[in-house]
Chains A and B, each alone.
Chain A
Amino acid sequence: MTDTDPVRLYRTVRLIRRFEERAVELVHGGQIVGGIHPYLGQEGIAAGVCAALGADDVLAGTHRGHGHVLARGADPARMLAELCGRVTGLNAGRGGSMHAADLSIGVLGANAIVGASGAIITGAVWAYRRRGRDTVGVSFFGDGAVNEGMLLEAFNLAALWRVPVLFVCENNGYATTMPVAGAVAGSIAGRAAAFDIPAVDVDGQDPEAVRVAASAAVDRMRAGGGPELIEARTHRFDAHHTFEHAVRLDYRPPDEVTRARARDPVRIQGERLTDTDRAAVDAEVEQTLDAAVRFALNSPEPDPADALRHLYASGLTARTGGG
């Protein structure tokens, strides 16, 4: 089921990269209000993991979640419209950057509460399998999440009930500004070992390496294995949040990002393509994103009278706040 085509893998990392760069521009231009948590530098993880998934599989991501949603195949135009708060967005302008979701392709939501995706995806996969589907799930989270009790409880449930969930820790070295060395006692793989969950360490800057590791894990899980964990070591090329530049936080050695950029997942995967193929993908991605930006900015704003539409799936309506 794994998509082994290096061109498509490159297209995914390139798409995420350029999407993020365009989104940052839109933040600085004021078209995206509230800012974003850029996934720049981490593209290889979402791309590699999602290449290993089948149509029936599901995932849940994080506040730094654009890459997960795009890698799963969401429409970049509707995704960008969501970031711009337009009715045409994936979530009709109700979710924004941190909650982008597309349930039609198994993206059960980006969750802004650190560590929250693990238990949700475990329950969803368990339920889909009970209903006869051959679903496996992916829970993406950062290194900060391994200190959240809720996630460790989810490890226990998934292992105990043998729910095929791939726990993907995107270790970018920082929980906002807290370095991983100052936050994680023991090791991330050790957390998994405590629950008898197999763990592998992978170079998150190499999309192909991530794909190979994820594919092996997904195959084992689908063959009846329980959960597994991948720790993908990566770098965040930009700030924790676009707001960070405005407040000038100082917590990284000045040359750290420069050194990290030497291991750029887009370049690493791009070098596996012929120049012609790479140029064709680059041009196609650029067209896609030009169209996405036009679509997002030309889409209508939501009607304020509908602000609480969708609050209740049951159709219950809330009393208004005024008068």
Chain B
Amino acid sequence: MPRLSYRRALTRALADELARDEAVFLLGEDIQVGASLVTTGLAKRFGTERIRDTPLSEQAFTSFATGAALAGLRPVIEFQIPSLLFLVFEQIVNHAHKFPLMTGGQCAVPVTYLVPGSGSRTGWAGQHSDHPYSLFAHAGVVTVVPATPADAYGLLVTAVRHDDPVVVFAPAGAMDVRDDVDELAPVPLGRGRIHRNGCDVTVVAIGHLVHDALAVAEELADQISVEVFDPRTLYPFDIGGLTESVARTGRLVVLDDANRSCGMAAEIIASVVERVRLLAPPRRVTRPDGAVLPFAPALDRAVQPGREQLVTAIHLTMKDTS
């Protein structure tokens, strides 16, 4: 079985879509040399017309992509820093996302926004370490956070083929994950994946945290049976799949590497408790409210949700059971 890294899976997905569909092109900063290592070799293979380096003009090139999409192309933009999404939130949410409805269905805006290296990259400090996925899920923009190489490939391919804007967050913590990959295939939006079956508690983990959740599940295996649910897309969210899981386990813990207030973890818990009577109060493990990632490695780690916190949350939810 071939071993494929998450990063290479993204490259493979881009190359396959560029080869499959002439309408696909890439736009971004330093993508011809592949500064993020995701677009390596693509300019040589597909030419600089389709792999277009842009000036540092994030707002303009994000709207440029909207215009190109209105004209029938399928742009993919690579953002090398997740926090740049704050800068182009307006162009994505207020323009690209709103155009189909505001025009009464006259247009589609099929742009993919790819963010390799989202979240903490350790040592990149306050303005390079956010995970702004919940903002896009809140706005109703299709939001994807793959955890494994196969899902990174399959979800990016689906994003490029999708007729609405899609933001693909590739967490820094997952970029070097390698996996045995038999078959690469598109992964549908809105369908979660159970990585490990369990009967005592469902842990929902997002992105790279899936791997932490699996490690914790393994560690606790002789005491507690943990089911690990990976939503894969945050919007649309596979609430049906998660409800089935929680209906079996009766307990819910969410692990989310983003700020606590109004985050995905809150949304996931609310959506589940609307549907399922739990055996114990649900818990969430997140970054603190309003967190800004500090620089020093020990401080950076202290702010990110960790395995110990997850273990504690799982134990608490088991203990709380009435």
Contacts and interface: CB of A to CB of B under 8 A. Distances in A.
Interface in A107-164: 108-109, 111, 113, 116, 118-128, 130-131, 149-150, 153-154, 156-157, 160
A160 B67 contact: no
Given A157-B60, A316-B236, A126 B68 contact: yes
Interface in A281-309: 308-309
B57 A89 contact: no
A133 to B, nearest CB: 9
B55 interface: yes
B100 A311 contact: yes
Contacts of A119: 59-64, 66-67, 91
Interface residues of A, number: 49
Contacts of B138: none
Interface stretch (A25-33, A92-100, A233-241): A92-100
Interface string A66-94: 00000000000000000000000111111
Contacts of B75: 123
Interface range, B side:
35 or more
Interface string B102-137: 111111111000000000000000000000000000
A310 B71 contact: no
Contacts of A103: 70, 103, 106-107
A101 interface: yes
A302 B91 CA distance: 28
B164 interface: yes
Contacts, number: 153
B65 interface: yes
B73 A127 contact: yes
A153 B101 contact: no
Interface in B143-181: 162-164
B70 A108 contact: yes
B89 interface: no
Contacts of A251: none
Contacts of A309: 101, 105
Given A127-B73, A313-B164, A153 B60 contact: yes
B140 interface: yes
B309 interface: no
A320 interface: no
Contacts of A108: 67, 70, 107
Given A90-B104, A121-B67, A156 B57 contact: yes
Nearest to B88: A150
A120 B71 CA distance: 10
Interface string B278-320: 0000000000000000000000000000000000000000000
Given A116-B95, A123-B67, A150-B60, A94 B101 contact: yes
Given A120-B67, A318-B140, A113 B90 contact: yes
B65 A123 contact: yes
A195 to B, nearest CB: 11
Contacts of B189: 316
A314 B140 contact: no
What 7 A-B pairs have minimum CB-CB distances, sorted nearest first?
Answer: A123-B67, A92-B104, A153-B60, A313-B108, A123-B64, A119-B63, A127-B71
Interface of B: 49, 54-55, 57, 59-73, 75, 90-91, 94-95, 99-110, 140, 142, 162-164, 189, 236
18 contacts: A91-B103, A92-B105, A94-B103, A95-B103, A101-B106, A103-B103, A108-B67, A119-B62, A119-B66, A123-B66, A125-B67, A127-B70, A153-B61, A154-B64, A156-B57, A157-B54, A157-B55, A311-B100
Given A119-B67, A124-B71, A315-B163, 5 more contacts: A60-B67, A119-B63, A123-B64, A127-B69, A157-B64
